[in-house]
Amino acid sequence: MDLIDKTVRDVKSLKIQGASKVREKSVKALVKVTLASKAKTEAIFRKDFLKNSKKLFDARPTEPALRTALRIFKKSISNKKLNIVEMKNIIKKINNTYENDRKKAMQLMTKYGAELIQKDSTILTICHSHAVVDVLIKAKKNIKKVYCMETRPLYQGRITAKELAAAGIDVTLIVDNAANTVMKQCNYFFSGADAFLADGDIVNKIGTNQISSLCKQYDVLHYAITSTHKFEPASFFGKDEPIEQRDQKELGNKIFKVKILNPAFDRTDSDTVEGIICEKGVFPPQVLASKLFDELNLDEHEKDFLKL
């Protein structure tokens, strides 16, 4: 099994999990395979690059951050006059620049997020987000307690709990249905976002929408932490973000005559989200979506964003 196929398998099985890690590992595989290419002609080189990109692009349906990265690499070698050596050099340069930019983006998100958290705050989290973990660790002097929903059926919330506890934060792990029980004690609900869309809605781990709705009832502030690379530009042109349906085996043995629905994500209405924390700052969701529409000149470049 080659590196691209192995990476696709690991992404699908959640051996590689979390949008930032999916993006990082997938790009690393693509760059390594592309730079090692033995293609004899520019046409074959491009064909192989696009074939491998498409495999990674399709590995999971709800991965805008990875799609954005792949689009950036594709655009970098779109000039048909480039030879193979030139294309390899460009990809190498883009890879170095891109990874440095992502690290800077993560540092800025961590800074902006940590600055929001007031002293003696109690926080609720869902699933596992590297961005959320980094923000909470940076702000730990202002944190009284964190409740981590275990996030069934694969329990990614336990990862968050372990990482925060290791950093010296007072952490309590709760079953997902106990969120309402602790909500009255909470000041903030922090989630990641696997995608955010033209109307400001966010797509995140299943259960996020339910908790965000509760936040409104209890005056708890829901902030989603995500890079602008998780914005899906195609959503401005009527393309909906697909919700991945996971294997029913994740819920245990099949029950006779019982159907199983196992969505990995849900869509949270922008009206229940106080703000999106990204590398550009903290914005109301619809304001950030409008800002990115303008910055990307989407009214002029629709076709560029609807294809790989």
Active-site positions read 127, 194
Closest Cα to residue 274, out of 191, 151, 195, 177? 191
Place of tokens 């926080």: 123
3-state secondary structure of 266: strand
Can you tell me the distance from the alpha carbon of 200 to that of 270, in angstroms, rounded to the nearest whole number?
5
Bridge-based pairing of strands 121-125 and 143-149 is parallel
Check: CB of residue 145 under 8 Å from CB of residue 186.
Answer: no
The string of DSSP letters for 37-99 reads ---SSHHHHHHHHHHHHHHHHTS-SS-HHHHHHHHHHHHHT--TT--HHHHHHHHHHHHHHHH
CA torsion through residues 137, 138, 140, 146, sign: negative
Can you tell me the distance from the alpha carbon of 224 to that of 62, in angstroms, rounded to the nearest whole number?
16
Give the CA distances from residue 247 to residues 62, 138, 151, 253, in Å, rounded to whole numbers and listed in that order. 15, 36, 16, 11
Check: CB of residue 233 under 8 Å from CB of residue 305.
Answer: yes
Check: CB of residue 226 under 8 Å from CB of residue 196.
Answer: yes
Bridge-based pairing of strands 143-149 and 202-205 is unpaired
CA torsion through residues 166, 168, 169, 171, sign: positive
